[in-house]
Amino acid sequence: MKDEHPAAEDRERAVTDEVLASFDGTGDPRLREVMLSLVRHLHSFAREVRLSEREWETAIEFLTRAGHITDDRRQEFILLSDVLGLSMLTVAINERQEPGATEATVFGPFYVDDAPEVPLGGDIARGAVGTPCYVSGQVRSVDGTPIGGALLHVWGADDDGFYDVQYSADHSAGRGWLRAAPDGSYRFWTVLPTPYPIPHDGPVGDLLTAAGRGPMRPAHLHFKVVAPGHRTLITHIFVAGDPHLGDDAVFGVKDSLVVEAEHHPAGQAPDGSDQQETWTSMTYDLVLVTEGAR
19 and 155 inside one domain: no
Q: Looking at residue 167, what is its pLDDT?
A: 81
* pLDDT value at 293 more than 90: no
- What distance lies between CA 129 and its chain's CA centroid? 23
Nearest of 112, 79, 73, 65 to residue 198 by alpha carbon: 79
The CATH number of whichever domain residue 88 belongs to comes to 2.60.130.10
What is the residue range of 37's domain? 8-51
What are φ and ψ of residue 196, in 5° steps? Answer: -155, 160
**pLDDT-based confidence at 262, cuts 50/70/90?**
very high
**pLDDT-based confidence at 1, cuts 50/70/90?**
very low
Instruction: Tell me what the mean pLDDT of segment 19-42 comes to.
Output: 98
Q: Looking at residue 5, what is its pLDDT?
A: 60
* pLDDT value at 7 more than 90: no
198 and 246 inside one domain: yes
Q: Looking at residue 234, what is its pLDDT?
A: 96
145 and 237 inside one domain: yes
Which residue has better confidence, 5 or 272? Answer: 272
The reply to whether 66 falls in a domain is no
- Quote the number of domains for the chain: 2
Average pLDDT, the chain: 93
87 and 223 inside one domain: yes
The reply to whether 92 falls in a domain is yes
Residues 244, 229 contacting (CB under 8 angstroms): no
209 and 107 inside one domain: yes
Q: Looking at residue 240, what is its pLDDT?
A: 98
> Cα separation of 139 and 180, whole Å?
7
164 and 232 inside one domain: yes
Torsion of CA 175, 179, 181, 186, to 10 degrees: 30
**pLDDT-based confidence at 82, cuts 50/70/90?**
very high
Q: Which amino acid is at 194?
A: T
The reply to whether 293 falls in a domain is no
Considering Cα of 87, then 92, then 95, then 98, what sign does the dihedral take? positive
The reply to whether 116 falls in a domain is yes
172 and 38 inside one domain: no
**pLDDT-based confidence at 289, cuts 50/70/90?**
very high
% the chain with pLDDT above 70: 96
124 and 198 inside one domain: yes
CB atoms within 10 A of CB 56: 11
Which residue has better confidence, 3 or 257? Answer: 257
Q: Give the CA radius of gyration of the chain.
A: 23
84 and 46 inside one domain: no
The reply to whether 2 falls in a domain is no
The reply to whether 166 falls in a domain is yes
| DSSP bridge pairs for 287 | 140
117 and 155 inside one domain: yes
**pLDDT-based confidence at 3, cuts 50/70/90?**
low
The reply to whether 20 falls in a domain is yes
Q: What is the pLDDT of residues 100-133, one digit of tens each?
A: 999 999 998 888 888 999 999 999 999 899 999 9
Q: Looking at residue 53, what is its pLDDT?
A: 97
Q: What is the pLDDT of residues 210-231, one digit of tens each?
A: 999 999 999 999 999 999 999 9
29 and 116 inside one domain: no
34 and 81 inside one domain: no
What is the DSSP track for 248-271? -TT----GGGEE--EEE-SEE-TT
Q: Looking at residue 223, what is its pLDDT?
A: 98
The reply to whether 167 falls in a domain is yes
Instruction: Tell me what the mean pLDDT of segment 43-49 comes to.
Output: 97
